[in-house]
Amino acid sequence: MADKKKPTPKLDELEKGPWPSFVKEIKLSAETNVASQAVLGILERSYNEKIGHWKHGGIVGVKGYGGGIIGRYNDIPEDFPEIAEFHTLRVNQPAGWFYTSDALRTLCDIWEKHGSGLTNMHGSTGDIIFLGTTTEELEPTFNALTAAGFDLGGSGSAVRTPSACCGMARCEWACYDTMAVAHDITMTYQDELHRPAFPYKFKFKMSGCPNDCVASIARADMSIIGTWRDNIQVDKDAVAAYASSGKRDIAKDVVEKCPSKCMAWDGKTLHIDNSNCVRCMHCINVMPKALAPGKDRGATILVGSKAPIIEGALLSAVFIPFLKMEPPYEDLKELVHAMWELWAENGKNRERIGEFIQRIGLGNFLEQIGLEPVPEMISEPRSNPYIFYEVKKG
């Protein structure tokens, strides 16, 4: 039980209701861990005062790594000495977040021995988050993790832990092997992941199809999103079965909702003008038994998305309309290296690559990394005449 001498009436209110309660979780850990008990206390205080009590700053880490640990201290250590230091470890998740029960128990054994027992499954970037331990315990925790086959993820101005949707492991729509690419990229860039050397963070996210289950287009400096070039695969009998069973109104639910109006339904046959299909996934999503992405599959490579800080939020922009995504992914890595070289040399402190591209101009960026501009990269050409012409002199 949590310390009865320090009641938590406000937090107790959040044990009520049908949704799983994080307060119940903290209390579970608090039964056997004094740091978790203190977390309850300091959080109750925040609920009373409407203010947080955590500080950042101070460089903590494990030997030879520049990231993976987030230093955290509370600002009232006299009241909560048990969590005066309460650092986070980011542990690199296996691609697709698949586990065996034994693997989870191994992680629990390590974290109950060396830390608070509180976790996030998972953090926003995808890592397994070990929430709270002392500076002294960092190296022993790391050693226990690596002995068990786990390693730290990224933090700071580094490659951040790549994440992938479940892809081919459990989805018929996966247009490339997302988990294989995530693992390959993670292993290729271990140095860039563990030793921050960039202007700011760099994230990779792999989604297997345009449904984008890992929000790659909104959250990755490089978004690798599956798509296809040939025709949508159609099982005519299965389309008819959707129609006759009444499960789908083909005209209303499918044809009318098509954003490129490339479909027609005559009551018997579904016609698709694949040359005008924008690969949005809607028709496939609503008739998964009848339609499937084509067989000539690969990915679109987009660059530059981010949250607002500093210059405003961005979505990723198309760089390579279609790439086959075959191992060892040399074409992809060549692009990555060219981009990193330019950005590392010219990017400002805390300038994400998307902001850097906006600052110098996409046209200039492409020219400097040696990528030909193509109309798929823009929604429309410029409408202003302020062109920086480069006329040869003499």
Residues 333-362 contacting another protein, CB under 8 A: 348-350
Query: Whose Cβ is closer to another protein: residue 316's or residue 365's?
Result: 316
Cβ atoms within 10 A of the Cβ of 170, count?
10
**Shortest spacing between CB 9 and another protein, in angstroms:** 9
Query: Whose Cβ is closer to another protein: residue 151's or residue 331's?
Result: 151
Query: Whose Cβ is closer to another protein: residue 149's or residue 246's?
Result: 149
Q: Which of residues 199-258 bind another protein (CB under 8 A)?
A: 210-219, 252-253, 257-258
Query: Whose Cβ is closer to another protein: residue 338's or residue 362's?
Result: 362
**Shortest spacing between CB 161 and another protein, in angstroms:** 8
Asked if 274 is part of the footprint of another protein (rule: CB under 8 A), the reply reads no
Phi, psi at 159, each rounded to 5°: -65, 130
- What the block records as the tokens of 1 is 């039980």
Stretch that binds another protein, among 117-125, 262-270, 332-340, 359-367 (CB under 8 A): 117-125
Asked if 107 is part of the footprint of another protein (rule: CB under 8 A), the reply reads yes
Among 229, 282, 333, 359, binds another protein (CB under 8 A): 282
Asked if 105 is part of the footprint of another protein (rule: CB under 8 A), the reply reads yes
Q: Which of residues 287-306 bind another protein (CB under 8 A)?
A: 288-289, 292
Cβ atoms within 10 A of the Cβ of 360, count?
16
Asked if 368 is part of the footprint of another protein (rule: CB under 8 A), the reply reads no
Among 80, 150, 343, 365, binds another protein (CB under 8 A): 150
Asked if 124 is part of the footprint of another protein (rule: CB under 8 A), the reply reads yes
Among 41, 61, 117, 347, binds another protein (CB under 8 A): 117
Asked if 324 is part of the footprint of another protein (rule: CB under 8 A), the reply reads no
Pairing type for strands 88-91 and 73-74 reads unpaired
Asked if 20 is part of the footprint of another protein (rule: CB under 8 A), the reply reads yes
Rounded distance, CA 363 to CA 375, Å?
12
Q: Which long-range contacts (CB under 8 A, 24 or more apart) does 346-352 make?
A: 347/198, 347/199, 347/200, 348/199, 349/199, 349/200, 350/157, 350/199, 350/200, 350/310, 351/199, 351/200, 351/310, 352/199, 352/200, 352/201, 352/221, 352/304, 352/306, 352/314
Count of residues near another protein by CB under 8 A: 129
Q: Are 122 and 128 in contact (CB under 8 A)?
A: yes
Cβ atoms within 10 A of the Cβ of 52, count?
12
Cβ atoms within 10 A of the Cβ of 10, count?
14
Among 3, 6, 7, 22, binds another protein (CB under 8 A): 22
Rounded distance, CA 295 to CA 298, Å?
9
Name the one residue in this structure whose structure tokens are 């921050």.
196
If residue 192 lies in a helix (H) or strand (E), which one and from where to where?
Answer: helix 190-194
Binding mask 159-198 for another protein (x = CB under 8 A): ----x-xx-xxxxx-x--x-x---x--xx--xx--x----
- What the block records as the tokens of 84 is 């005066």
Q: Of 113, 109, 132, 131, which is closest to residue 121 (Cα–Cα)? A: 131
Among 2, 11, 35, 357, binds another protein (CB under 8 A): 11
Asked if 143 is part of the footprint of another protein (rule: CB under 8 A), the reply reads yes
Asked if 132 is part of the footprint of another protein (rule: CB under 8 A), the reply reads yes
Stretch that binds another protein, among 51-59, 317-325, 337-345, 368-376 (CB under 8 A): 51-59
